[in-house]
Amino acid sequence: MERFKVTSSPHIRDVDSVTRLMGDVLLALLPATALAVYLYGLRALLLIVVTVLAAVATEAVCQKLRKQTITINDLSAVVTGLLLALNLPAGAPLWMGALGSIFAIFIVKQVFGGLGENFMNPALAARVFLAVSYPKLMGQYFDPATDALSSATPLALLKEGQMSEMPSMFDSFLGTVSGSIGESSAAALLIGGLYLLFRKVITWEIPVLFIGTVFVGTFLLYGFDAQVALLAILSGGVFLGGFFMATDYATSPIHFNGRIVFALGAGLLTVLIRRFGAYPEGVMFAILLMNAFTPAIEKFTAPKIFGGAK
């Protein structure tokens, strides 16, 4: 009769697993991914496939070399690869996607200890790495309407003050404007973001406060024009960053108060970089900077212990 299994409590667990969470993120990115393929065709599809495969392969090779258990089944490398691909312009050569993935997984993730241990969002860091190393190639945006090269993204126009050239609110929301293949459609990203909120994969603090801060900040800095402020959040990486990148578990604070500080900081930095920096877009730099501040934020916003222990 002495055959019962003995483990310490609790004896039941929630059904969520890391693989399931990552799977949900992939599902949430499906509308934006599908739209990218629809708008940019085979070019985008190939870029996505190559970038994702490179990310997964890099993870497997790193773990194999270090004689660790290969954990590509947890889908986290797929998420990184897909996020990076969605951050690239349609004109990016395939090798650049692969190089970015190798950088993201090898340098940013595995060198720092793998899943959960990286201090910067791998996909965002890779985007910055590529933007700095290959500024010209990373600027090869296409206009989905004409399928021609077009560097005049809404944010570039905003930067140059060419308000009259800006796309309509409707086009910006739908995403039929030039930009990275997966970040221009606020609509598609919003659907995915709401799904993540509904599935409780992410909490509301970061997306709502980040996007809200960019809106308010733009309103204040660009002549109190609500229309411009609205265009500013519908353009560039605000929705992709707010729902999918700034919410990255490993690189954002683990508790509520910390997430609030993080989101406000990232929103504020985005507006400041867009307004005063050399680049038209500030989301990626803003989030990466806040990634670096995350340990400090966590320290100063630790939750209050019940019973008042200090």
Partner 1 sequence: MEVKSFKGGVHVPHSKGLTEAKETVVCSPPASVFISMRQHIGAPAKPVVAPKDSVKKGQLIGEAGGFVSANIHSSVSGTVKKIHTMKIMGLDTTVIQIDNDFEETWHESVKPRSGIDQLSGSDIKNLIMEAGIVGMGGAGFPLHVKLSPPENKPIDTFIVNGTECEPYLTCDHRLMLEESDQIIQGLLFMMKTVSVKKAYIGIEVNKPDAIEVMKNAAAPYDSIEVVPLAAKYPQGGEKQLIYACTKREVPSGGLPADIGVVVANVATTKAVADYVVMGQPVTERVCTVTGSGITTPKNLLIKVGTPLQHLIDECDGLTADSAKLIMGGPMMGNAVASASFPSTKTTGGLLILNLADAKIGETTACIKCGRCVTACPMGLQPVYISQYSLRDRMDLAEKYHPVDCIECGSCSFICPANRPLVHSIRVAKRHVMENRRKV
Rank residues 78 and 92 by Cβ distance to partner 1 and give the closer one.
78
Give me 70's structure tokens: 């290969």
CB of 119 to partner 1, least distance (A): 10
Residue with tokens 């990626």: 284
Rank residues 219 and 244 by Cβ distance to partner 1 and give the closer one.
244
CB of 74 to partner 1, least distance (A): 7
CB of 7 to partner 1, least distance (A): 6
Rank residues 9 and 164 by Cβ distance to partner 1 and give the closer one.
9
CB of 193 to partner 1, least distance (A): 17
Rank residues 14 and 136 by Cβ distance to partner 1 and give the closer one.
14
Q: Kindly calculate the radius of gyration of the chain based on its CA atoms and give it in whole angstroms.
A: 20
Residue with tokens 């900077």: 289
- Beta bridge partners of residue 149, listed in sequence order: 142
CB of 260 to partner 1, least distance (A): 13
CB of 256 to partner 1, least distance (A): 7
CB of 262 to partner 1, least distance (A): 12
Long-range contacts of 271-279 (CB under 8 A, 24+ apart): 271/213, 271/214, 271/217, 271/218, 271/221, 271/232, 272/217, 274/155, 274/158, 274/159, 274/218, 274/232, 274/236, 275/221, 275/222, 279/131
- What are the angstrom distances between the C-alpha of 95 and each of 49, 86, 103, 160, 292? 12, 15, 12, 32, 28
Rounded to whole angstroms, the Cα distance separating 238 from 192 reads 14
Rank residues 17 and 162 by Cβ distance to partner 1 and give the closer one.
17
Rank residues 8 and 146 by Cβ distance to partner 1 and give the closer one.
8
Rank residues 218 and 247 by Cβ distance to partner 1 and give the closer one.
247
Residues that bind partner 1 (CB under 8 A): 1-2, 4-14, 16-18, 20-21, 71, 74, 76, 114-117, 249-250, 253-256, 302-309
CB of 259 to partner 1, least distance (A): 8
Query: Is residue 285 a contact partner of residue 273, using CB atoms and an 8 Å limit?
Result: yes
Rank residues 206 and 234 by Cβ distance to partner 1 and give the closer one.
206
